[in-house]
Amino acid sequence: MRERLLKPFRAKGGVRVPHHKNTANLQSVVMPPPKQVVIPMLQHIGAPCKPTVKAGDKVLVGQVIGDTEAYMAAPVHASVSGTVKEITSILMPSGAPVEAVVIESDGRMEKADCAPPDVGTKENFLKAVRASGLVGLGGAGFPAHVKLNVPPDKEVDTLIVNAAECEPYITSDHREILENSWSVLSGVYAVKELLGIQRVIIAIENNKPDAIQLLSEIAGKEYDPKNEVRVMALKSVYPQGAEKILIRSCTGRKVPPGKLPADVGCIVMNVTSVAFLAQYLKTGLPLVSKRITVDGSAVQNPQNVIVPIGTSVSDVIGFCGGYKETPKKILYGGPMMGTALSDDRFPVLKQNNAVLAFGEKEAKLKEPSACIRCGCCMYVCPMNLLPVSLAQASEAKDMDKLEKYRVMTCIECGCCSYVCPANRHILQAIRLGKQYYKEHGKAGK
Ligand code: SF4
Ligand code: SF4
C-alpha cells in the first residue's frame, strides 16, 4: 500500500479544528419515504429548472419533474413515487424565492423505467451526466456535465477526487468510501477513460486511515497496471478540501484569481459524485437520494442517513430520534462553511452533505472586542490575504481597498474568524464586502 501513497505539496495557512467525526464508524441508515417531499427547481449553480409536471400528476422515482434549455443547469427528478400536490414558491436559505414541486408519497417508492445510458462517445457521456441530474455533491452544486466538458483549448492531465472532508462533524464522504468503495473506483476509471485523463489523485485527509487503506488496496490491484490512480494522504488541516487549496496540495499548481481548475490542467470531483456516476452508468437511476450526516449537540441520535432529496430537515431529525434540546442553530453543511437555516422546514438538497443542529452553548456567538493587531488572521489565511484589512474595507464600503486587497479571492473558509482572539466577525464582514463589490465593482459591471 505504501508505494501507492503520494506525498502532498506544502500548502500555506489553514487551522487545526476539532474533528468531532462522531458518526465515522456508524453504518449509514436508509430513511423510509416521508409523507411528502418539497423539491426545489434550483439545486445547482446556474439557471433554475421549470416544472415539467402539474398538480395531480402521478410520478415515479427517477422521473424528470423539472428541466430547462439552459446549459448551466441540471434536471431535477422525483425522489419518491406518488402524486404532485402543488407547484409552489419557497424561500431558500439565502432568502431567494424558488419554484418547488411538492409530492405526496404513496410509500411504494416505485421506480420509473431506467436503463444504463449509452456512453460510447465523450458527447454521449456528457449528455448522460446531464440527464443524471448530477451536480457537485460536496456542497458547491456545480453542474457536473459543465465541469467535465473541458474546452478544446485546455488540456487536463489530472483528475483530483476530493475525499478530504475537512469540515468538523461531516462523515458522509468517508462512509461513501467505506460502504461503496467499488463504486468510487469504478467511477474514477469511467471518468478517466471517457475523458482521456492520464492520472488520478484520490485526496483524503490522514484522519481516515481505514478509507486510505481500502482505496489504496483496491486501486493497487490488477485494474491499474500503469499505476495511474494513486491515493494521497493529506494533513488534517482545514480547509484542505477547498478546491484551490486541494489543487495546490495535490499538484503544486496555483489557480490564478478568476481562473478555473482546467486552466491549470485539473478537474476536481467530489468522491460521492464519482461514486454516484458509477452507479448511474450501471443502472440509469438519476440522483434522487443523498447520504447526509446528521449531528450536533441538539440531535438525539447522530448518524449518516440516506434520504430522498426534498425530505424536510425536521423529518430527517425526527428519524434520528428528534431533538435533545431546543436547537439554537441549524446548518446545511459544516460549522465552518455551512449555511445557517432559520428553521427546520427546509428540504434536503442534492448538494447537502450534512444537517447539524446545535444547542444554546455551541450556538452562542462570542462578543467581539477591538482588534489587537496580532496578525493571526493573516497568518492562517490560505489565500495569502489580509483579512483584517479586508474586513475594514468591507465595513467602510471602500471599493478601492476592496479591489486592492483582492476581496474576490477570499474563499470564505472562515479560518480568520476562527483564530481571532478578539472574536471579530471577520468573515461576516468580508462576505458583505464581496456582495457590495459584486453589485458596485468591476465584478458587477
Ligand atoms: S480572508 Fe477569506 S480566505 Fe482568508 S482566511 Fe478569511 S475567509 Fe479564509
Ligand atoms: S486575528 Fe483578530 S485581533 Fe488579530 S489582527 Fe486579525 S482581526 Fe485583529
User: Whose alpha carbon is nearest atom 5 of ligand 1?
Assistant: 381
At residue 444 the predicted structure's pLDDT band, cuts being 50, 70 and 90, is very low
Binding site membership of 408 for ligand 1 (Cβ less than 6 Å): no
Same-domain check for residues 385 and 277 = no
User: What pLDDT is recorded for position 30?
Assistant: 98
Whether the ω angle into residue 368 lies within 30 degrees of 0, i.e. cis, is: no
Please check the confidence at residue 445 and state whether its pLDDT lies above 90: no
Ligand 1 centre distance from Cα of residue 203 (Å) = 22
User: What pLDDT is recorded for position 110?
Assistant: 97
Same-domain check for residues 279 and 177 = yes
User: Whose alpha carbon is nearest atom 1 of ligand 2?
Assistant: 420
Bridge partner residues of 294 (DSSP):
303, 355
Ligand 1 centre distance from Cα of residue 397 (Å) = 18
At residue 11 the predicted structure's pLDDT band, cuts being 50, 70 and 90, is confident
Does a structural domain hold residue 401? Answer: yes
Percent of the chain with pLDDT over 90: 86
User: What pLDDT is recorded for position 364?
Assistant: 84
Ligand 1 centre distance from Cα of residue 387 (Å) = 6
User: Whose alpha carbon is nearest atom 3 of ligand 2?
Assistant: 371
Total-model pTM: 0.93
Looking at all shown ligands, the one closest to residue 383's CA atom is: 1
Note down the domain range covering 259: 2-24+116-283
Please check the confidence at residue 317 and state whether its pLDDT lies above 60: yes
Atom of ligand 1 nearest to the CA of 409: 3
Mean pLDDT, residues 213-217: 89
| Segment 16-67, tens digit of pLDDT | 999 999 999 999 999 999 999 999 999 999 999 999 999 999 999 999 999 9
Ligand 2 centre distance from Cα of residue 334 (Å) = 23
DSSP characters over 297-350: TTBSS-EEEEEETT-BHHHHHHHTT-BSS--SEEEES-TTT-EEESSTTSBPPT
Same-domain check for residues 135 and 273 = yes
Looking at all shown ligands, the one closest to residue 408's CA atom is: 1
Look at the block and give the residue holding cell 481597498. Answer: 401
User: What pLDDT is recorded for position 4?
Assistant: 61
Ligand 1 centre distance from Cα of residue 410 (Å) = 5
Ligand 1 centre distance from Cα of residue 54 (Å) = 44
Same-domain check for residues 268 and 129 = yes
Final residue of a domain: which of 236, 260, 283?
283
User: Whose alpha carbon is nearest atom 1 of ligand 1?
Assistant: 387
First to last CA, the chain: 52
Same-domain check for residues 164 and 269 = yes
Does a structural domain hold residue 131? Answer: yes
Binding site membership of 383 for ligand 1 (Cβ less than 6 Å): yes
List alpha helices for 61-121, DSSP H: none
Does a structural domain hold residue 81? Answer: no
Q: Are 297 and 358 in contact (CB under 8 A)?
A: yes
Q: Which of 371, 428, 430 to mutate to test the pocket of ligand 2 (most atoms within 8 A of CB)?
A: 371
Same-domain check for residues 137 and 257 = yes
User: What pLDDT is recorded for position 88?
Assistant: 97
List the single range of 120-124, 285-289, 356-360 with lowest mean pLDDT.
Answer: 120-124
| CA 188 from centre of chain | 18
List residues near ligand 2 (CB under 6 A). Answer: 371-377, 388, 419-422, 424, 426
Mean of per-residue pLDDT scores for the chain: 93
Q: Going edge to edge, which strands form the sheet with 29-30? A: 29-30, 303-308, 289-295, 354-358, 329-332, 339-341
User: Whose alpha carbon is nearest atom 8 of ligand 2?
Assistant: 371
Say how many domains are in the chain.
2
Q: Are 398 and 408 in contact (CB under 8 A)?
A: no
CA distance 134 to 150: 17
Percent of the chain with pLDDT over 70: 98
Atom of ligand 2 nearest to the CA of 374: 4
More confident residue, 363 or 296: 296
Binding site membership of 387 for ligand 1 (Cβ less than 6 Å): yes
List Cα–Cα distances, 341 to 332, 401, 417, in angstroms: 7, 32, 20
Same-domain check for residues 272 and 386 = no
Does a structural domain hold residue 95? Answer: no
CA distance 144 to 122: 14
| Segment 125-162, tens digit of pLDDT | 999 999 999 999 987 789 999 999 998 899 999 999 99
List the single range of 6-15, 249-258, 302-311 with lowest mean pLDDT.
Answer: 6-15
Q: Which of 367, 380, 424, 430 to mutate to test the pocket of ligand 2 (most atoms within 8 A of CB)?
A: 424
Closest CA to 78 of 286, 312, 313, 292: 286
User: What pLDDT is recorded for position 396?
Assistant: 96
At residue 442 the predicted structure's pLDDT band, cuts being 50, 70 and 90, is low
Does a structural domain hold residue 11? Answer: yes
User: What pLDDT is recorded for position 366?
Assistant: 86
User: Whose alpha carbon is nearest atom 3 of ligand 1?
Assistant: 410
Looking at all shown ligands, the one closest to residue 238's CA atom is: 1
Q: Which residues of 254-285 are buried (b: 16+ CB within 10 A; e: fewer)?
A: ebeeeebbbebbbbbbbbbbbbbbbbbbeebb
Does a structural domain hold residue 65? Answer: no
List alpha helices for 99-169, DSSP H: 122-131, 144-148
3-state secondary structure of 266: strand
Q: Are 136 and 290 in contact (CB under 8 A)?
A: no
Same-domain check for residues 252 and 386 = no
Q: Are 43 and 113 in contact (CB under 8 A)?
A: no
Same-domain check for residues 273 and 412 = no
Does a structural domain hold residue 69? Answer: no
| Segment 97-132, tens digit of pLDDT | 999 999 999 999 999 999 999 998 899 999 999 999
Binding site membership of 412 for ligand 1 (Cβ less than 6 Å): yes
User: What pLDDT is recorded for position 3?
Assistant: 56
User: Whose alpha carbon is nearest atom 2 of ligand 1?
Assistant: 410
Task: Output phi, psi for 295, to 5 deg.
Answer: -155, -175
Max CA-CA distance within the chain?
A: 63
User: Whose alpha carbon is nearest atom 6 of ligand 1?
Assistant: 416
Mean pLDDT, residues 376-385: 96
Binding site membership of 407 for ligand 1 (Cβ less than 6 Å): no
Ramachandran area for residue 109 (φ above 0: left; ψ -120 to 50: alpha; else beta):
left
Bridge partner residues of 354 (DSSP):
293
User: Whose alpha carbon is nearest atom 2 of ligand 2?
Assistant: 420
3-state secondary structure of 286: coil
Same-domain check for residues 136 and 249 = yes
At residue 222 the predicted structure's pLDDT band, cuts being 50, 70 and 90, is low
Please check the confidence at residue 337 and state whether its pLDDT lies above 60: yes
Look at the block and give the residue holding cell 442553530. Answer: 329
Residue 161's domain is classified under what CATH number? Answer: 3.40.50.11540
User: What pLDDT is recorded for position 365?
Assistant: 82
Contacts of 88 (CB under 8 A, 6+ apart): 38, 99, 100, 102
CA distance 163 to 317: 25
Binding site membership of 14 for ligand 1 (Cβ less than 6 Å): no
CA 42, 46, 50, 51: dihedral to nearest 10 degrees? Answer: -30
Looking at all shown ligands, the one closest to residue 372's CA atom is: 2
CA distance 254 to 233: 20
Does a structural domain hold residue 235? Answer: yes
Closest CA to 37 of 399, 350, 263: 350
Final residue of a domain: which of 253, 283, 313?
283
Q: What nine digits make up the cell of 149?
A: 466538458
CA distance 158 to 198: 6
Please check the confidence at residue 369 and state whether its pLDDT lies above 80: yes
Final residue of a domain: which of 256, 283, 310?
283
Same-domain check for residues 14 and 152 = yes
- Sign of torsion over alpha carbons 281, 49, 355, 311: negative
